[in-house]
């Protein structure tokens, strides 16, 4: 019987992660202890200071004051600076012109690629392909280290069910199981097997913790939830990245349980270090320490520094609280020398693990920078992964397009290379994007088969281009309308109170549909959108996210059927904002909505309870049929287990990939349980008519949760297992467990 490939991979990952964690547990380079004995108080504080560089038209530069601080040993780390030559220049100052010659650590936001930009992370997660995401992270690491970087502020492990929040675009969606698989994969991709390898990059787990649950969906806002919910649904992806070997963690901007994460000892000490055994260092987010004054938690910036380092915050990014006040705090006894030394030792040990003490210039190779970035191999992989990340939301037969037919391409976003890259695009540049969506469609369709009209911008009320767009549609056999958000309308500081398609783009869609020509909508966006008013007018709707450097070609690959879409949503799409938050692992109520005629049940009067597109949803150009769920036994106990299996058959006419998803429901618990929880998935590629059995293991660990007494484990009782192609399209079976 074929075991689930995914579960076998996870097992291998766990053993590998344990091995790496044990290595991290002994992170103690003997050179560090010798160095610590020689360091002055100023030099120790300097190792906990991270200052940012500036960018000019000629590239990165440091303010003279910061360079003087580097020479004096008062700044040991640099953010927002790269190129091999620049890293070497700064490193030569640190190594040759300071008393102790301690190398600098260079960090940057390499979020979904460095020079070769992959789809935004929400798009990557829709591939449900951790192995491919790991390879994308490995490519990003090779490119970033070739340009002089040591450290990336990624993976972002924030679970979110909040589409108003702009930074939902940077994470893996709403589910902790899928999110954990992806955060571990990214960590492995960045750090590899040997962090001292010059092609590996130090990962940073962020934003710790629960940053993805801001009240009102507004960035940087308050987060408040029970410890049970935090531990079960928000902490797992951070933990998975730590277990995969990550050696740095970034605290989040938000408060949790009334205490800013930047000085939250429960998060930074009790959970991260004492429970998870983390041995690396913790860095604040940008000016996060000083922001505790605005939170109303610190009296002033000196007090903020005291609170942060005593709670376990090792490094200060940009706020200068440590730079200005930490020496005095130590001398006055408000911060112990032991606390300071432990933070310094952690930072130095990570620098040693990176190999910087062996060769501080190992990341400074102009030859690598010239030959290892934006290679043809990297771009080919980016094109493939971008296509794999796209989700076919709906299709009445409008797609795929036929090469040679007359196509009208409409929308300002169709002719935009910039928007393909999305936000937090690393060092990606528009001039490195070979084709817009329009360019790629023209190339695929053949000469003379494409007519373009802008129609309207992605924002604003200008309808002057409508008439030209309608003329183009009337002269074509099919219409491709590319609409969505400007790329800067998602990401940091990009929250929205309205998640509908902005401007007059929806109005343009309605007018194009009125021509009677089939309209295929391509969406560029960084969050779940309210598409309820748009869906009836689209013959097909393809969620392309912001697909990266090769995104134009990837969209064309899917539109013309050269690639059969296989993406599945990693986040729920609501019918409207009033349903938010809406997610697949919600709980039942005492009055669940089961009777359509009933009034006093948990329901809306104006819309159904169900989302527009459920978690795990995604169509294909072929069709898949699922057999009933078969269990190897009706029950198990203790350390035993059972298997749940289905046979999946490609009943269509083209080859396709289906992501088979397994969900579990615990019917009765000592605390209430979700109606569905994702517990396994596997991607299977099937030829027309081919069938394959997919088998999932179920054991005590699969059923475990935080019980009434907050211990982790399973409880005896009855369970349901659901297997299918989306959270709302499953077959089910029942079994029991005896503890």
Classify burial at 371, counting beta carbons within 10 Å of its beta carbon; exposed 0-12, middle 13-18, buried 19 or more. Answer: exposed
Beta strands in 326-399 (DSSP E): 391-395
The 3-state DSSP class for residue 317 equals strand
| Beta-carbon contacts of residue 580 (< 8 Å; ≥ 6 apart) | 161, 162, 163, 164, 217, 574
How many Cβ atoms from other residues are within 10 Å of residue 254's Cβ? Answer: 27
Beta strands in 510-651 (DSSP E): 519-524, 540-543, 624-626, 630-631, 635-637, 641-650
Q: Choosing from 109, 175, 285, 486, which is the catalytic residue?
A: 285
Looking at residue 583, the DSSP 8-state letter turns out to be -
| Beta-carbon contacts of residue 730 (< 8 Å; ≥ 6 apart) | 661, 663, 722, 723, 724
Distance, CA of 352 to CA of 569 (rounded, Å):
41
CB 151 within 8 A of CB 108: yes
Name which of 343, 278, 436 is nearest 77 in CA terms. 343
Distance, CA of 202 to CA of 347 (rounded, Å):
12
Beta bridge partners of 249: 205, 282
CB 470 within 8 A of CB 511: yes
| Beta-carbon contacts of residue 388 (< 8 Å; ≥ 6 apart) | 127, 129, 132, 563, 566, 567
CA distances for 416 relative to 448, 552, 565, 585, angstroms: 21, 9, 23, 37
Tell how many helices (H) and how many strands (E) occur in the chain. Answer: 23, 29
Sheet with 407-410: strands ordered across: 391-395, 540-543, 519-524, 478-484, 407-410, 450-453
Name which of 434, 454, 456, 433 is nearest 443 in CA terms. 434
Beta bridge partners of 703: none
The 3-state DSSP class for residue 186 equals helix
Beta bridge partners of 251: 208
| CA-based R_g, the chain, Å | 26
Which DSSP string do the residues of 705-739 spell out, in sequence order? EE-TTS-EE--SEEEEEEEEEETTEEEEEEEEEE-
Distance, CA of 283 to CA of 281 (rounded, Å):
7
The 3-state DSSP class for residue 275 equals helix
For the record, the structure tokens of 85 come out as: 């030559």
Using the Cα atoms of residue 599, residue 603, residue 605 and residue 609 in order, give the sign of their dihedral.
negative
For the record, the structure tokens of 125 come out as: 């997660």
CA distances for 589 relative to 257, 593, 600, 673, 675, angstroms: 25, 9, 12, 11, 10
Beta bridge partners of 49: 316
Distance, CA of 648 to CA of 691 (rounded, Å):
5
| Beta-carbon contacts of residue 170 (< 8 Å; ≥ 6 apart) | 111, 112, 120, 121, 122, 156, 158, 423, 424, 491, 492
Beta strands in 307-352 (DSSP E): 316-317
The 3-state DSSP class for residue 159 equals coil
Beta bridge partners of 631: 644
> Is 285 part of the annotated catalytic residue set?
yes
For the record, the structure tokens of 460 come out as: 């604003």
Catalytic center residues: 285
């Amino acid at each position: 019987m074929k075991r689930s490939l995914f579960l076998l991979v996870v097992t291998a990952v766990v053993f590998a992660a344990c091995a790496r964690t044990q290595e991290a547990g002994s992170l103690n380079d003997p050179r560090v202890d010798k160095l610590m004995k020689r360091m002055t108080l100023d030099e120790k504080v300097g190792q906990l200071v991270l200052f940012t560089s500036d960018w000019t038209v000629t590239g990165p530069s440091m303010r003279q004051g910061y360079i003087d601080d580097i020479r004096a040993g008062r700044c040991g780390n640099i953010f927002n600076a790269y190129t091999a030559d620049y890293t070497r220049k700064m490193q030569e100052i640190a190594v040759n012109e300071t008393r102790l010659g301690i190398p600098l650590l260079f960090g940057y936001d390499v979020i979904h690629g460095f020079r070769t930009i992959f789809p935004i992370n929400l798009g990557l997660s829709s591939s449900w392909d951790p192995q491919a995401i790991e390879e994308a992270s490995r490519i990003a690491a090779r490119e970033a280290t070739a340009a002089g970087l040591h450290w990336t502020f990624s993976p972002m492990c924030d679970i979110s069910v909040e589409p108003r929040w702009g930074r939902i675009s940077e994470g893996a969606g709403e589910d902790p199981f899928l999110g954990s698989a992806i955060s571990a994969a990214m960590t492995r991709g960045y750090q590899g097997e040997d962090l001292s390898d010059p092609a590996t990059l130090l990962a940073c787990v962020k934003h710790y913790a629960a940053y993805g649950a801001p009240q009102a969906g507004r960035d940087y806002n308050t987060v408040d939830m029970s410890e049970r919910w935090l531990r079960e649904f928000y902490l797992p992806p951070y933990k998975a990245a730590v277990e995969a070997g990550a050696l740095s963690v970034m605290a989040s901007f938000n408060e949790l349980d009334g205490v800013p994460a930047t000085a939250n000892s429960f998060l930074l000490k009790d959970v991260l270090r004492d429970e998870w055994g983390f041995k690396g260092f913790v860095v604040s987010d940008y000016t996060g320490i000083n922001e505790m004054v605005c939170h109303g938690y610190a009296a002033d910036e000196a007090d903020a520094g005291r609170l942060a380092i005593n709670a376990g915050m090792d490094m200060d990014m940009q706020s200068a609280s440590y730079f200005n006040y930490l020496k005095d705090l130590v001398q006055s006894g408000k911060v112990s020398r032991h606390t300071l030394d432990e933070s310094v030792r952690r930072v130095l040990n990570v620098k040693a693990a990176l190999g910087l003490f062996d060769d501080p210039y190992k990341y400074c190779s102009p030859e690598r920078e010239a030959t290892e970035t934006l290679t043809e191999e990297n771009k080919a992989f980016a094109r493939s992964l971008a296509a794999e990340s796209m989700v076919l939301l709906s299709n009445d037969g409008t797609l795929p397009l036929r090469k040679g037919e007359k196509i009208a391409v409409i929308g300002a976003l169709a002719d935009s290379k910039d928007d393909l890259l999305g936000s937090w695009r690393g060092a990606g540049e528009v001039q490195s994007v070979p084709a817009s969506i329009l360019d790629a469609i023209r190339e695929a369709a053949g000469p003379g088969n494409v007519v373009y009209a802008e129609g309207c911008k992605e924002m604003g009320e200008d309808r002057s281009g409508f008439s030209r767009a309608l003329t183009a549609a009337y002269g074509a056999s099919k219409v491709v309308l590319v609409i969505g958000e400007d790329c800067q309308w998602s990401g940091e500081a990009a929250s929205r109170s309205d998640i509908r398609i902005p401007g007059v783009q929806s109005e343009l869609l309605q007018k194009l549909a009125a021509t009677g020509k089939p309209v295929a909508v391509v969406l560029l966006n960084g969050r779940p959108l309210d598409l309820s008013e748009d869906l009836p007018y689209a013959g097909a709707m393809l969620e392309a996210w912001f697909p990266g450097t090769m995104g134009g070609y990837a969209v064309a690959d899917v539109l013309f059927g050269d690639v059969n879409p296989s993406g599945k949503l990693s986040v729920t799409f609501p019918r409207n904002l009033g349903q938010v938050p809406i997610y697949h692992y919600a709980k039942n109520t005492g009055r669940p909505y089961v009777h359509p005629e009933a009034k006093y049940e948990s329901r809306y009067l104006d819309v159904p309870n169900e989302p527009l597109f459920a978690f795990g949803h995604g169509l294909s150009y072929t069709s898949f049929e699922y057999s009933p769920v078969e269990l190897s036994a009706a029950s198990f106990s203790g350390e035993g287990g059972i298997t749940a299996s289905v046979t999946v058959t490609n009943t269509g006419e083209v080859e396709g990939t289906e992501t088979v998803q397994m969900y579990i429901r615990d019917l009765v618990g000592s605390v209430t349980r979700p109606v569905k929880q994702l517990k396994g998935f596997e991607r299977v590629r099937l030829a027309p008519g081919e069938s394959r059995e997919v088998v999932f293991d179920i054991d005590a660990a699969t059923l475990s949760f935080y019980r009434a007494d907050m211990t982790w484990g399973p409880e005896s009782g009855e369970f349901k297992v659901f297997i299918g192609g989306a959270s709302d399209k499953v077959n089910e079976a029942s079994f029991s467990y005896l503890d």
